[in-house]
């Protein structure tokens, strides 16, 4: 018999997820990976739309197997008054509720925080929305792509003078989700110190993106500088760019002072390494084009493997640009358990990303596959006292699935 794995640092926490698609469910996926018991509420019949996004196997997205692992699925129709009453009962029994509806939606279902916390004073409510729960834009719909644009990220992507491009994943949603998880953990810590009272965590998609924009605003405030797209370079931090090789591109980050000198020695340009004007980043940034040209002249005569070998010997950070095929066969990913194996409800053997972050004593685990729609409805509602006859009536009336 396989030993029972440790149950994770968040074991014992109960989470109710009312969100769908990406931002809210990614927050709860993070909590579930670390041991929390996540009950996901989905509409009967259709479920979370993510079930049908991108590539499907037997009608279900393989993305679903990542986003909803370690969760339980309960099918409840939130448009039905009795369905809303069921969710209010569930909310009274959990530590955390996560939702990513447009502001005002919960209030329309008589699930304002004030109403929910009357029954459950310790409840922590995470609310993720496009623009937050207050302010002049609160009622506007906002997906991750809008948050990326308003937060300043989209303007910086792509090549100068060309149409701004998007990052190839829903990074705005994911950043909001991670900020949501941080907010939940902060609220849990504060709850333990103030007698058990909960609070609302308000995360706006655009603010989560904006929070990661580094020096964008202070540079504008101090100097009126508007940072513009720069392709693969990182303006003001030199050298840090992508350079051509005989068989593709390589990334080189030689922007530390001593690293820069080692890099120049490695490429045969000791003259640049010893140049006092290039000893520090400000001087190098003024001559970024000259330095990039010198590095590119060296890399374009070599293969990626040759460049990376030379960089490794010189202890200069560098790397190839990975495709998912590179990721899947990389030994470091495997050694760090960043590629895990699971089997879907339909029997498909699947590899999925591992669990982050990694804790030394109480790590997270992939405890269970992603659920079928409504797979856990009877068990979850049964724990609230609903017997077989009551469940049958609710199902016949379309309240649950």
The encoded tokens of residue 16 equal 């109710």
CATH code assigned at 46: 3.40.50.10540
Residues 277 and 392 placed together within one structural domain of the fold: no
Query: 340 Cβ partners below 8 Å, 6+ apart?
Result: 351, 352, 353, 354, 355, 366
pTM of the model as a whole = 0.93
Token look-up 């370079």 returns 233
Residues 157 and 24 placed together within one structural domain of the fold: yes
Last-in-domain residue among 302, 325, 348: 325
pLDDT value, residue 5: 53
Residues 262 and 119 placed together within one structural domain of the fold: no
Residues 197 and 272 placed together within one structural domain of the fold: no
Last-in-domain residue among 273, 295, 325: 325
CA–CA distance, 366 with 70 (Å, rounded to integer): 6
Domain-located, residue 335: no
Domain ranges, residue 318: 240-325
Last-in-domain residue among 325, 357, 382: 325
Helix (H, G, I), strand (E, B) or coil at 60: strand
Domain-located, residue 386: yes
Domain-located, residue 261: yes
The encoded tokens of residue 320 equal 């190839």
Q: What is the pLDDT along the chain (401 residues), one digit of tens a residue?
A: 344 455 899 999 999 999 899 999 999 999 999 999 999 999 999 999 999 999 999 999 999 999 999 999 999 999 999 999 999 999 999 999 999 999 999 999 999 999 999 999 999 999 999 999 999 999 999 888 999 999 999 999 989 999 988 888 999 999 999 999 999 999 999 999 999 999 999 999 999 999 999 999 999 999 999 999 988 888 899 999 999 999 999 999 999 999 999 999 999 999 999 999 999 999 999 999 999 999 999 999 999 999 999 999 999 999 999 999 999 999 999 999 999 999 999 999 999 999 999 999 999 999 999 999 999 999 999 999 999 999 999 999 999 99
Among 371, 385, 347, 354, CA closest to 17: 371
Beta bridge partners of 98: 17, 126
CA–CA distance, 285 with 241 (Å, rounded to integer): 12
pLDDT value, residue 2: 42
CATH code assigned at 253: 3.30.1540.10
Domain-located, residue 222: no
Among 273, 296, 284, 283, CA closest to 238: 284
Residues 292 and 357 placed together within one structural domain of the fold: no
Residues 128 and 72 placed together within one structural domain of the fold: yes
Residues 386 and 261 placed together within one structural domain of the fold: no
Beta bridge partners of 75: 42
Domain-located, residue 230: no
pLDDT value, residue 37: 97
Residues 270 and 366 placed together within one structural domain of the fold: no
Domain-located, residue 224: no
pLDDT value, residue 3: 42
Q: 3-state DSSP: the chain helix, strand, coil percent, rounded to 5? A: 40, 15, 45
Residues 38 and 112 placed together within one structural domain of the fold: yes
Residues 191 and 249 placed together within one structural domain of the fold: no
Query: How many domains, the chain?
Result: 2
CA–CA distance, 238 with 294 (Å, rounded to integer): 13
Domain-located, residue 2: no
- Which of 48, 173, 277, 337 is labelled catalytic? 173
Residues 21 and 162 placed together within one structural domain of the fold: yes
Residues 133 and 157 placed together within one structural domain of the fold: yes
Domain-located, residue 294: yes
Query: What are the residue ranges of helices labelled H in 50-112?
Result: 64-67, 81-91, 105-108
The verdict on whether 95 is a catalytic residue reads: no
């Amino acid at each position: 018999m396989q030993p029972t794995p440790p149950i994770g640092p968040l074991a014992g926490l109960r989470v109710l997820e009312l969100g769908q698609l990406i931002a809210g469910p990614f927050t709860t996926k993070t909590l579930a990976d670390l041991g929390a018991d996540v009950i996901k509420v989905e509409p009967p019949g259709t479920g979370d739309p993510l079930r049908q996004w991108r590539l499907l196997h037997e009608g279900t997205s393989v993305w679903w197997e990542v986003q909803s692992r370690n969760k339980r699925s309960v099918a409840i129709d939130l448009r039905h008054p009795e369905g809303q009453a069921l969710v209010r009962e569930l909310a009274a029994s959990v530590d955390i509720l996560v939702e990513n509806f447009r502001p005002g939606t919960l209030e329309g279902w008589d699930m304002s925080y004030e109403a929910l916390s009357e029954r459950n004073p310790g409840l922590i409510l995470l609310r993720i929305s496009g623009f937050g729960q207050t302010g002049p834009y609160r009622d506007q719909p906002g997906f991750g792509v809008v948050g990326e644009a308003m937060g300043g990220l989209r303007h910086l992507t792509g090549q100068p003078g060309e149409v701004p491009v998007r990052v190839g994943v829903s990074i705005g949603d994911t950043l909001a989700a991670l900020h949501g998880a941080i907010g939940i953990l902060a609220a849990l810590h504060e709850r333990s110190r103030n007698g058990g009272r909960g609070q609302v965590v308000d995360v706006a998609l655009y603010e989560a993106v904006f929070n990661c924009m580094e020096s964008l605003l202070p540079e504008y405030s101090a100097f009126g500088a508007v940072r513009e797209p720069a392709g693969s370079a990182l303006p003001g931090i030199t050298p840090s760019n992508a350079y051509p090789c005989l068989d593709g591109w390589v990334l080189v980050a030689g922007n530390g002072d001593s690293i820069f000198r080692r890099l120049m020695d490695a490429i045969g340009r000791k003259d640049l390494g010893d140049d006092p004007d290039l000893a520090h980043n400000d001087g190098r940034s003024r001559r970024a084009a000259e330095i990039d040209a010198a590095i590119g002249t060296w890399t374009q005569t070599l293969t990626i493997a040759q460049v990376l070998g030379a960089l490794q010997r010189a202890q200069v950070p560098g790397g190839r640009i990975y495709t998912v095929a590179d990721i899947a066969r990389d030994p470091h990913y495997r050694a760090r358990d960043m590629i895990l194996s699971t089997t879907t409800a339909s029997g498909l053997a699947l590899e999925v990303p591992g669990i982050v972050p990694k804790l030394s004593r109480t790590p997270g685990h992939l405890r269970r596959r992603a659920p079928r729609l409504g797979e856990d409805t009877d068990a979850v509602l049964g724990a609230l006292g609903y017997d077989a006859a009551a469940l049958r009536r609710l199902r016949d009336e379309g309240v649950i699935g």
